[in-house]
Chains A and B, each alone.
Chain A
């Protein structure tokens, strides 16, 4: 016989175990610092590539100026300015994305609590049934 109450609990658990949600639930088990750190590295790498592409676009735009004879001092100044802008860009983006991931971590903690609550209900259901069966 199919037990409706058990199917309801298992359906809710299965709903949590949908692909995207189970990943979010598992990530809620990390420490917050590890969770945020693991996400910041791809961002830093992506933004570095994006900055390189942006520099290429800017260099193409000012190709005439760059191909004219630039002194070493001017080249060093340009390189220093590009590096400073890059560091500022990375710092600002890391700050903003940290806020975003902190909110995501809180969400995954909440989801994790709900999921384990449902698992506990199922466990209690099995215990009650076992006790009822033995009586």
Chain B
């Protein structure tokens, strides 16, 4: 356990030394993953699918404020859908606009929760979302999580409709809306994710010993049990082995991410500037460490060396170093 904490402290020191660069790199990687995930789901336009467009948009997202990433993702998705169906692109655009005016405009940081849904589904760890939100956020995150799941299901319904429909009419739109909101799997998923998130949140905040470390495993077990129950009740036909493997991977990913998120949140370096009558001050405020990392050089102390060991070491031999008789000992 100490080794883990020492490793964490080294990570904090590394992060503090290179905080600005690392933040840019993380943002770039997450943008890249997000646009590849969108391409995987609705990548209809071959021009937009090209890697240099994806890299270019990710770089543009770096330069602009963080909230713009959500807008870029919505625009990118709508542009892909517009390539095959104007009607569905209008639908997608209206729904994204609706989400913005109702919620994201006032709580922009929750937009990342909505973005995280297709990303986690694309990398096959969707169950990490409620586990992670339970560890780092409050139960109010159920709102963006539900919105994200609904948007994801809507996009899946659109891909099915695009694959099967022949006319680009209002009928396609009706089919998509019907398929999305009559899908029981969506409501089951929202319900189960909500229960798991609240459970993890309650355990994390309880005063029981090791509650913080038990929250994710217990949440993962609850997730599996609840999905098995819904599989039994309804005709979902969930692949049980896939559920188990994905939940274990999700729990591992959630544990790692919250480990770094919680740690790095509190290790954020602040850069401040101010002046008085005599000086300009450029201050870098670095939060203190909780454990000092050892810079250890192990020195072995032995009682006496034997003559052979001294010969091997190439040290000068002095007779008094070695006991000649029992009396010397």
Q: Is the CB of A10 within 8 A of B170?
A: no
A24 to B291, CA, bound (A): 34
A57 to B279, CA, bound (A): 61
CB distance from B32 to the nearest CB of A (A): 28
Q: In the assembled complex, which residues on chain A have CB atoms less than 8 Å from the CB atom of B94?
A: 53, 56-57
Nearest chain A residue, comparing its CB with the CB of B169: A63
Stretch at the interface among A44-52, A80-88, A107-115: A44-52
Q: Mark A1-41, 1 if CB is under 8 A from B, else 0.
A: 01000110011011100100000000000000000000000
- If A11-B285, A14-B283 touch, does A53 touch B97 (CB 8 Å cutoff)? yes
Nearest chain B residue, comparing its CB with the CB of A58: B177
Q: In the assembled complex, which residues on chain B have CB atoms less than 8 Å from the CB atom of A47?
A: 101-102
Q: Is the CB of A10 within 8 A of B276?
A: yes
Size range of the chain B interface in the assembly: 20 to 34
Q: Is the interface of A mostly helix, strand, loop or mixed?
A: helix
Q: Is the CB of A60 within 8 A of B101?
A: no
Stretch at the interface among B15-23, B118-126, B267-275, B313-321: B267-275
CB distance from A31 to the nearest CB of B (A): 22
CB distance from A84 to the nearest CB of B (A): 19
A7 to B279, CA, bound (A): 10
Q: In the assembled complex, which residues on chain A have CB atoms less than 8 Å from the CB atom of B247?
A: none
Nearest chain B residue, comparing its CB with the CB of A53: B98
User: How many pairs of residues, A versus B, come closer than 8 Å at their CB atoms?
Assistant: 53
- If A46-B105, A60-B170, A61-B173 touch, does A11 touch B98 (CB 8 Å cutoff)? no
Nearest chain B residue, comparing its CB with the CB of A6: B276
Q: Is A79 an interface residue (CB 8 A)?
A: no
Q: Is the CB of A11 within 8 A of B102?
A: no
Q: Is B174 an interface residue (CB 8 A)?
A: yes
Q: In the assembled complex, which residues on chain A have CB atoms less than 8 Å from the CB atom of B174?
A: 61
Q: In the assembled complex, which residues on chain B have CB atoms less than 8 Å from the CB atom of A6?
A: 276
Q: Is A78 an interface residue (CB 8 A)?
A: no
Q: In the assembled complex, which residues on chain A have CB atoms less than 8 Å from the CB atom of B279?
A: 2
Q: Is the CB of A15 within 8 A of B102?
A: no
Q: In the assembled complex, which residues on chain A have CB atoms less than 8 Å from the CB atom of B210?
A: none
Interface residues, chain B, with chain A CB atoms under 8 Å away: 91, 94-95, 97-98, 101-102, 105-106, 170, 173-174, 177, 270, 272-274, 276, 279, 281, 283, 285
The 5 closest A-B pairs by CB, nearest first: A50-B101, A14-B272, A14-B274, A46-B101, A50-B102
Complex A-B: 16 CB contacts under 8 Å: A7-B281, A10-B274, A11-B272, A11-B285, A14-B273, A14-B274, A14-B283, A15-B270, A18-B270, A18-B272, A46-B105, A46-B106, A47-B101, A54-B98, A57-B94, A63-B170
Interface residues, chain A, with chain B CB atoms under 8 Å away: 2, 6-7, 10-11, 13-15, 18, 42-43, 46-47, 49-50, 53-54, 56-57, 60-61, 63, 97
Known: A7-B281, A46-B101. 12 other contacts (CB 8 A): A6-B276, A7-B283, A13-B274, A14-B274, A15-B272, A47-B102, A53-B94, A54-B98, A56-B94, A57-B95, A57-B98, A97-B106
